[in-house]
Structure 1
Amino acid sequence: MVEKDVLEEKMNERKERFDEKKEKVGEKVDSKYNEKKEKFDEKKEKGKVYSEKFVNDLNTTIDEFKDSLKNMQKYADDKINEYKNATISNLAVDLIESDDIYYLKVAVPGLDKDEVEIEAGDNDIVITATFKPFVEELKDAGILKADDDEESEDVAEAKVIASELTVGKCSKTVRFENSIEVEKITAKYKTGIILITIPKLIIPKHKVTVE
């Protein structure tokens, strides 16, 4: 019985020592695990902050890029409109010739006959017209607010998105092989088209007698 008790006591001592070591090892493992977890969480948090900053910076860069594109497009449109207004464009014409008459058809869409000028010389004719930008037509009609109108707050303001129609001063010079009878030229206007009839100057041949 005594040997049995001694044996049990030694076993209990060893078990206690084992449990103590086990507990210490467990504490060390837990401590290391917690340290690593804290470091991981810290890195994770930093990564999250960097990620959010990167996304915010990226969004800011994209927005700035979009704004730059819009500004560049507006600048290009403004320059194109300035060029259109400053450059004299050609009017579209059709020309037909018969034995004694030239027939000239000129397209002036959107203009009244009083807004077209025609000048004829000895063997040429010049047609000149000025086209207003669409936005200016709307302002003249009172549909949009004029630039110098500060009182009409109820009138809508607007911006030009596209401007592809011909604007500004346009001219067309047509030269003829034959001289023309300036005083007999006629012009008729109908639905944005001017039809000009230009008689040729027929100089009769005169037989000269040799004396």
Structure 2
Amino acid sequence: MGSSPGKGKEKSTKIESEIDELSEPFFAVFGFESIKEEGFPVIDVFENSDNIFIEAELPGIDRERVRISVAEGELVIEGDKAGDREESGKVNYICIERSFGKFCRTVDIPKAADTSKVRARYKEGILLVTIPKVKEQRKKKRKIEIE
């Protein structure tokens, strides 16, 4: 039997992903609760002629627990989702699908963004970040005097 280059790596990555998914609820029971960076919060990035928009779903997270910052061409959304699980041992969880704990999501923003004027609005679990675009000076025509 022949094998294709890279196929073993795909299987390895898939197995690691499945192990992570299976072990997450186990570790959550013992207090190691976190939401994976690459997938939470889920976001949409879109634009119009004046602005870049980043919309993030943050269900069940209080506004006071969300922090946003901009540095070096990246927007960072971070915070923590408070857990309401019964910790006293009075209940036995059969299935745990909801995630609690700290999260951090980094989004690259284009150079055309004016990061000094970023605005954010949070309503009903939806965070909308608006980043104005830099007005291009190149479109203006200017006469240059020759010396």
TM range (shorter): 0.5 to 0.7
Q: TM-score, normalised by structure 2?
A: 0.65
Q: Give the gaps of 5 or more residues in structure 1.
A: 1-75, 136-143, 148-155
Partner Cα distance (2:134, 2:32) in 1: 37
Aligned to 1:187, which of 84, 107, 120?
Answer: 120
Partner Cα distance (1:134, 1:191) in 2: 19
Aligned-partner SS, 2:33: helix
Matched, 1:79 2:27: yes
Q: Quick check: 1:188–1:195 contact (8 Å CA) kept in 2?
A: yes
Q: Go from structure 1 to structure 2 and tell me whether the alpha carbon gap of 1:164 and 1:210 turns closer, same or farther (over 3 Å shift).
A: farther
1:196 corresponds in structure 2 to: 129
Matched, 1:117 2:67: yes
Aligned to 2:95, which of 158, 162, 169?
Answer: 162
Q: Quick check: 1:108–1:129 contact (8 Å CA) kept in 2?
A: no
Give how far 1:100 is off.
Answer: 2.3
Give how far 1:157 is off.
Answer: 2.5
Partner Cα distance (1:161, 1:167) in 2: 17
What is the one-letter code of the residue matched to 2:117?
K
Percent of aligned pairs with the same amino acid: 24
Q: Go from structure 1 to structure 2 and tell me whether the alpha carbon gap of 1:178 and 1:194 turns closer, same or farther (over 3 Å shift).
A: same
2:82 corresponds in structure 1 to: 132
Q: Quick check: 1:124–1:176 contact (8 Å CA) kept in 2?
A: yes
2:16 corresponds in structure 1 to: none
2:17 corresponds in structure 1 to: none
RCO higher in structure (CA 8 A, sep ≥6): 2
Q: Go from structure 1 to structure 2 and tell me whether the alpha carbon gap of 1:158 and 1:199 turns closer, same or farther (over 3 Å shift).
A: same
Q: Go from structure 1 to structure 2 and tell me whether the alpha carbon gap of 1:86 and 1:108 turns closer, same or farther (over 3 Å shift).
A: closer
Larger strand proportion of the pair? 2
Q: Quick check: 1:123–1:179 contact (8 Å CA) kept in 2?
A: no
1:62 corresponds in structure 2 to: none
Partner Cα distance (1:189, 1:100) in 2: 21
Alignment of 1:1-211 (within 5 A): 77-79=25-27, 85-86=33-34, 88-89=36-37, 90-135=40-85, 147=88, 157-205=90-138, 209-211=145-147
Q: How many residues align?
A: 120
Aligned-partner SS, 1:102: strand
Q: Go from structure 1 to structure 2 and tell me whether the alpha carbon gap of 1:78 and 1:181 turns closer, same or farther (over 3 Å shift).
A: same
Q: Quick check: 2:35–2:100 contact (8 Å CA) kept in 1?
A: no
Q: TM-score, normalised by structure 1?
A: 0.48
Over aligned residues, Cα RMSD in angstroms?
3.0
Partner Cα distance (1:80, 1:209) in 2: 69
Partner Cα distance (1:117, 1:91) in 2: 13
Q: Give the gaps of 5 or more residues in structure 2.
A: 1-22
Q: Go from structure 1 to structure 2 and tell me whether the alpha carbon gap of 1:180 and 1:83 turns closer, same or farther (over 3 Å shift).
A: farther
